[in-house]
Amino acid sequence: MIEHAVLGVFDDFDKAEEARAALLADGFDAAALELKVHNDEAGPVEGNFYVGNTPGESEQHVYDSNYVAVQRAQCMLVVDANDAATAARAGAIMARFGARDPNQLSGVRR
Protein backbone atom coordinates (compact mmCIF):
# COMPACT_ATOMS: atom_id res chain seq x y z
CA MET A 1 0.00 0.00 0.00
CA ILE A 2 1.28 3.45 -0.97
CA GLU A 3 1.25 5.81 1.99
CA HIS A 4 3.24 8.73 0.61
CA ALA A 5 3.00 10.53 -2.70
CA VAL A 6 5.47 13.22 -3.72
CA LEU A 7 4.39 15.74 -6.34
CA GLY A 8 6.78 18.00 -8.19
CA VAL A 9 5.67 20.68 -10.62
CA PHE A 10 7.96 21.66 -13.49
CA ASP A 11 7.76 24.51 -15.98
CA ASP A 12 9.89 22.61 -18.47
CA PHE A 13 9.17 19.12 -19.82
CA ASP A 14 12.87 18.37 -20.35
CA LYS A 15 13.62 19.07 -16.67
CA ALA A 16 10.75 16.80 -15.63
CA GLU A 17 12.15 14.04 -17.86
CA GLU A 18 15.63 14.55 -16.38
CA ALA A 19 14.18 14.25 -12.87
CA ARG A 20 12.35 11.07 -13.86
CA ALA A 21 15.57 9.60 -15.30
CA ALA A 22 17.46 10.52 -12.11
CA LEU A 23 14.80 8.80 -9.99
CA LEU A 24 15.08 5.66 -12.12
CA ALA A 25 18.89 5.77 -11.88
CA ASP A 26 18.55 6.03 -8.08
CA GLY A 27 16.56 2.79 -7.99
CA PHE A 28 12.95 3.98 -8.07
CA ASP A 29 10.58 1.60 -9.84
CA ALA A 30 9.16 2.93 -13.12
CA ALA A 31 5.69 1.82 -12.00
CA ALA A 32 5.94 4.22 -9.04
CA LEU A 33 6.58 7.24 -11.31
CA GLU A 34 3.96 9.11 -13.29
CA LEU A 35 4.75 12.11 -15.46
CA LYS A 36 1.70 14.17 -16.41
CA VAL A 37 1.71 17.01 -18.93
CA HIS A 38 -1.12 19.51 -18.74
CA ASN A 39 -1.68 21.44 -21.93
CA ASP A 40 -4.59 23.73 -22.60
CA GLU A 41 -5.75 24.19 -26.18
CA ALA A 42 -6.34 27.87 -25.35
CA GLY A 43 -2.63 28.30 -24.74
CA PRO A 44 -0.56 29.21 -21.72
CA VAL A 45 -2.15 31.10 -18.85
CA GLU A 46 0.60 33.70 -18.75
CA GLY A 47 1.74 35.41 -21.95
CA ASN A 48 -1.01 33.93 -24.09
CA PHE A 49 -0.51 36.40 -26.93
CA TYR A 50 2.46 37.43 -29.03
CA VAL A 51 2.25 41.19 -29.33
CA GLY A 52 4.48 44.22 -29.53
CA ASN A 53 6.90 46.10 -31.68
CA THR A 54 10.55 46.66 -31.04
CA PRO A 55 11.14 50.33 -30.18
CA GLY A 56 12.40 52.16 -33.25
CA GLU A 57 10.81 49.78 -35.72
CA SER A 58 7.21 50.75 -35.07
CA GLU A 59 7.60 53.91 -37.19
CA GLN A 60 8.45 51.64 -40.13
CA HIS A 61 5.36 49.53 -39.47
CA VAL A 62 7.46 46.40 -39.12
CA TYR A 63 5.87 43.97 -36.70
CA ASP A 64 8.22 42.15 -34.38
CA SER A 65 6.89 39.70 -31.82
CA ASN A 66 9.24 40.71 -29.05
CA TYR A 67 7.19 39.12 -26.29
CA VAL A 68 7.54 35.46 -25.52
CA ALA A 69 4.69 33.21 -24.38
CA VAL A 70 5.44 31.45 -21.13
CA GLN A 71 3.64 28.34 -20.00
CA ARG A 72 4.20 27.68 -16.33
CA ALA A 73 3.63 24.57 -14.24
CA GLN A 74 2.72 22.41 -17.20
CA CYS A 75 4.35 19.17 -16.01
CA MET A 76 3.78 17.21 -12.83
CA LEU A 77 5.86 14.26 -11.72
CA VAL A 78 4.22 12.01 -9.12
CA VAL A 79 6.24 9.50 -7.11
CA ASP A 80 4.49 6.86 -5.03
CA ALA A 81 6.67 6.11 -2.01
CA ASN A 82 6.14 3.50 0.68
CA ASP A 83 7.70 5.46 3.54
CA ALA A 84 8.68 8.96 4.59
CA ALA A 85 12.40 8.42 3.98
CA THR A 86 11.79 7.32 0.38
CA ALA A 87 9.44 10.27 -0.14
CA ALA A 88 12.11 12.67 1.17
CA ARG A 89 14.71 11.10 -1.15
CA ALA A 90 12.39 11.51 -4.13
CA GLY A 91 11.66 15.12 -3.20
CA ALA A 92 15.36 15.94 -2.94
CA ILE A 93 16.08 14.40 -6.34
CA MET A 94 13.23 16.28 -8.01
CA ALA A 95 14.28 19.56 -6.35
CA ARG A 96 17.68 19.29 -8.06
CA PHE A 97 15.85 19.64 -11.37
CA GLY A 98 13.68 22.58 -10.34
CA ALA A 99 10.55 20.84 -9.07
CA ARG A 100 8.23 23.00 -7.03
CA ASP A 101 5.66 21.94 -4.46
CA PRO A 102 2.12 22.41 -5.88
CA ASN A 103 0.87 23.46 -2.43
CA GLN A 104 3.33 26.35 -2.40
CA LEU A 105 2.21 27.38 -5.89
CA SER A 106 -1.43 27.55 -4.81
CA GLY A 107 -0.74 29.17 -1.46
CA VAL A 108 -2.26 26.20 0.42
CA ARG A 109 -0.89 25.67 3.90
CA ARG A 110 -1.20 22.27 5.56
Give the C-alpha separation, 76 to 36, whole Å: 5
Asked if residue 2 has pLDDT above 90, the reply is: no
The helix/strand/coil state of 103 is helix
Considering its fold, how many domains does the chain have in total?
1
Chain-centroid distance, C-alpha 68: 18
Supply the CATH number for residue 32's domain.
Answer: 3.30.70
Q: Which domain holds residue 12?
A: 4-106
Angle at 84 between CA 80 and CA 90, to 5 degrees: 55
pLDDT in tens, 34-88: 998 876 555 544 444 445 555 555 555 555 555 544 455 578 999 999 899 999 9
Give the C-alpha separation, 37 to 48, whole Å: 18
Asked if residue 104 has pLDDT above 80, the reply is: no
Q: What is the pTM of this model?
A: 0.66
User: Burial, 11: exposed, middle or buried (Cβ in 10 Å; 0-12, 13-18, 19+)?
Assistant: middle
Give the C-alpha separation, 94 to 18, whole Å: 9
